[in-house]
A and B are shown apart, each in its own frame.
Chain A
């Protein structure tokens, strides 16, 4: 019982992915996306995507039908898709449900369909150029929020602690020249200390160490799972 409660209330597990295509580039990504490796997990993932697509299509279709019927405009594509018999039934259905119920519920369904179920934040380091932080948006409709900081304006990168809610969290911060506030890397996920230390070491190595010193043989795509 207690274990169940704990599992239900715990935040989603975070995984750190390290991507190093060349020696002077590293991308660290922290993600709460569940790892799908077993067959049931992959099946579940595919099914959920299909369900989302279907739900989205149905919602858009019903909204469109309602719109056309309200304005009493021709609905030729429907006739073409469904045939006359089903079209009549759909019209009756569209007639029976009113805008005031349809619109909000369609909105909710669309919101759920486009909602991203996970958060992904990354730090890309390019030696000699700078670093870019990015945070994925909460829906599939928007791209990630990114911020590029050139190497010349980076003063320091460090791990610090701060109060967040009822707890104290570690965070990785970048001091940017000419700015009063530091830039927090992974601002919404705030990974744990172990993860941050890996990223911090990598970032310092990539930014400030000379070519060929302390270079690490990272595999092309190395996965480091960090349990949360």
Chain B
């Protein structure tokens, strides 16, 4: 059943980033599956108003004050009139918010619940529990998530983190990983091997060990911030280079820690062995990656780590710190793990280099393996299932895999999967957020509800024009309809599972959790 979905977040193109590309890819795949998707974000410099992207994805750049680093000022209610207008004119049924630091997303979820819509929230990041900023963010998260229908996290670590931060029922949190467009991250050998030439490295011949004098290049692509582990990198590089003479580094990205790296290079006179190439655009990342053999990811916290999937897809052996969601992302034969410490990182890189020299790693096969593991189509399929679950199109039992009696944890559940819309039920949920916060949240919700009533009087629905949908090619739509009808019929689950072997494993884990 096609839905009208609104993706809401402060982060969207033209600003580059992980959440942005996630939203874009997911939206376009959902559109391919026959849904209608719009994106609501705030206005960027020189980009205000309503725009269409490829494939008929409509983007509303709502004019708002931007206070800090492309985040809007959290005015709880000022977004409501515009949001209501958009929701009505686009006939939205499901509001899907992204990124926990985006106030636009939180406000949208609150308003959507007031308007009686189903809501989903996707968390893309991990947070701490101790410092003041985190506590505040967590409280805010708890506020919006007390009344959300379903939450999606990008990794199991992220799920654990979100469940703890927002005191959620683990049952209503799904894990749907990010994906990569594998075609955009082809290894070099796939380029050389055209149609007439047999692909030299992709062929499954005997492994070709690298000679001891052959130069191994280590690539690092990241924003140079503290949380990305640049300090670790600064400490580890001299040791790695001292231990392995035929190793070079390529570091791409910029940030406040770039200066530390430059100092390290100068102090150790490594100018000819460490190349810093500054910021690269996302579409150029692949060109940088294929210049190397090993990808080093020294991150201190990472919810998913799309970049290491991209690196593996380019045929690079990955050395990563064992933090956050990183261990879940790639199978063990593609990665060498290290604890986030200097010595361990040096050691792990050493192991990786040795393995490459011995020809024990078949990096040329990585691309096809990654291609099978991650695809946005699969992400869209699984997200669609969440939509089905919350809008009651598949039964509660089926959605939650029969785990636990309905509402063993959170009692006031209405229809299958979804939360009840009754104001009093909603207030109950918010009241439990804290001694003072609970009452404050309740006041917010009541004001929001009154605002909704006022808007219904002064800006009635009859005065809002309904938008026309983006015209779709009829033939394609018909095919899709047949396909979906088939999928939803007899063996829909089998189709899903043959396409995605990871899914089966995950379901089991979900059962274990409960």
B residues less than 8 Å from A228 (CB atoms): 463
A residues less than 8 Å from B436 (CB atoms): none
B465 in contact with A163 (CB, 8 Å): no
B62 in contact with A167 (CB, 8 Å): no
B457 in contact with A163 (CB, 8 Å): no
B459 within 8 A of A: yes
B50 within 8 A of A: yes
> B468 → chain A, closest Cβ, in Å?
8
> A54 → chain B, closest Cβ, in Å?
37
Segment at the A interface, from B82-90, B163-171, B196-204, B344-352: B82-90
Q: Which A1-51 residues have C-beta < 8 A from chain B?
A: 2, 5-6, 9-10
B residues less than 8 Å from A142 (CB atoms): none
B457 in contact with A6 (CB, 8 Å): yes
Q: How far is the CA of A160 from the CA of B86 in the complex (A)?
A: 15
> B131 → chain A, closest Cβ, in Å?
37
B residues less than 8 Å from A167 (CB atoms): 81-82, 85, 459, 464
A80 within 8 A of B: no
A161 in contact with B49 (CB, 8 Å): yes
Candidates A5, A160, A162; contact of B457 at CB < 8 Å: A5
Candidates A10, A160, A168, A194; contact of B89 at CB < 8 Å: A168
> B465 → chain A, closest Cβ, in Å?
4
**Residue of B60, B63, B81, B463 ringed by the most chain A CB atoms within 10 A:** B463
Interface string of A155-168 (1 = CB under 8 A from B): 00000111100111
The secondary structure that dominates the B interface is: mixed
Q: Which B59-83 residues have C-beta < 8 A from chain A?
A: 60, 62-63, 81-82
A162 in contact with B49 (CB, 8 Å): yes
Q: Which B164-215 residues have C-beta < 8 A from chain A?
A: none
B residues less than 8 Å from A163 (CB atoms): 48-50, 62-63, 82
A residues less than 8 Å from B457 (CB atoms): 2, 5-6, 9
Candidates B63, B81, B465; contact of A193 at CB < 8 Å: B465
Q: How many interface residues does chain A have, given as a range?
A: 10 to 19
On whether A168 and B85 interact (CB within 8 A), knowing A6-B457, A160-B50, A161-B50, the answer reads yes
A170 within 8 A of B: yes
A168 in contact with B86 (CB, 8 Å): yes
Q: How far is the CA of A160 from the CA of B460 in the complex (A)?
A: 22
A166 in contact with B85 (CB, 8 Å): yes
Q: Which A135-174 residues have C-beta < 8 A from chain B?
A: 160-163, 166-168, 170
Q: How far is the CA of A109 from the CA of B285 in the complex (A)?
A: 71
Q: How far is the CA of A166 from the CA of B85 in the complex (A)?
A: 8
B82 in contact with A170 (CB, 8 Å): no
A86 within 8 A of B: no
A residues less than 8 Å from B467 (CB atoms): 161
Q: How far is the CA of A168 from the CA of B463 in the complex (A)?
A: 11
B81 in contact with A166 (CB, 8 Å): yes
> B38 → chain A, closest Cβ, in Å?
11
A residues less than 8 Å from B89 (CB atoms): 168
Candidates B49, B63, B81, B465; contact of A192 at CB < 8 Å: B465
Interface string of B82-117 (1 = CB under 8 A from A): 100110010000000000000000000000000000
Which residue of the partner chain A has the closest CB to B78?
A166
Q: Which A85-141 residues have C-beta < 8 A from chain B?
A: none
Which residue of the partner chain B has the closest CB to A193?
B465
A residues less than 8 Å from B63 (CB atoms): 163
A residues less than 8 Å from B49 (CB atoms): 161-163
Q: How far is the CA of A29 from the CA of B464 in the complex (A)?
A: 22
> B348 → chain A, closest Cβ, in Å?
52
A residues less than 8 Å from B50 (CB atoms): 160-163, 168
A residues less than 8 Å from B459 (CB atoms): 166-167
Q: Which B136-180 residues have C-beta < 8 A from chain A?
A: none
> B64 → chain A, closest Cβ, in Å?
10
Q: Which A188-206 residues have C-beta < 8 A from chain B?
A: 192-194
Q: How far is the CA of A168 from the CA of B460 in the complex (A)?
A: 14
> A196 → chain B, closest Cβ, in Å?
9
B residues less than 8 Å from A168 (CB atoms): 50, 60, 82, 85-86, 89
Q: How far is the CA of A5 from the CA of B466 in the complex (A)?
A: 23
> A189 → chain B, closest Cβ, in Å?
14
Interface string of B31-51 (1 = CB under 8 A from A): 000000000000000001110
Interface string of A174-194 (1 = CB under 8 A from B): 000000000000000000111
17 further interface pairs, Cβ-Cβ under 8 Å (given A167-B81, A168-B86)? A2-B457, A6-B457, A9-B458, A10-B463, A161-B50, A163-B50, A163-B62, A163-B82, A166-B85, A166-B459, A167-B82, A168-B60, A168-B85, A170-B465, A193-B465, A193-B466, A194-B465
Interface residues of A (CB under 8 A from B): 2, 5-6, 9-10, 160-163, 166-168, 170, 192-194, 228
Subset of 23 A-B contacts with CB under 8 Å: A2-B457, A6-B457, A6-B458, A6-B460, A9-B457, A10-B463, A161-B49, A161-B50, A161-B467, A162-B49, A162-B50, A163-B48, A163-B82, A166-B81, A166-B82, A166-B459, A167-B81, A168-B82, A168-B85, A192-B465, A193-B466, A194-B465, A228-B463
Listed from nearest, the 5 A-B pairs whose CB atoms lie closest are A166-B81, A193-B465, A161-B50, A167-B85, A9-B458
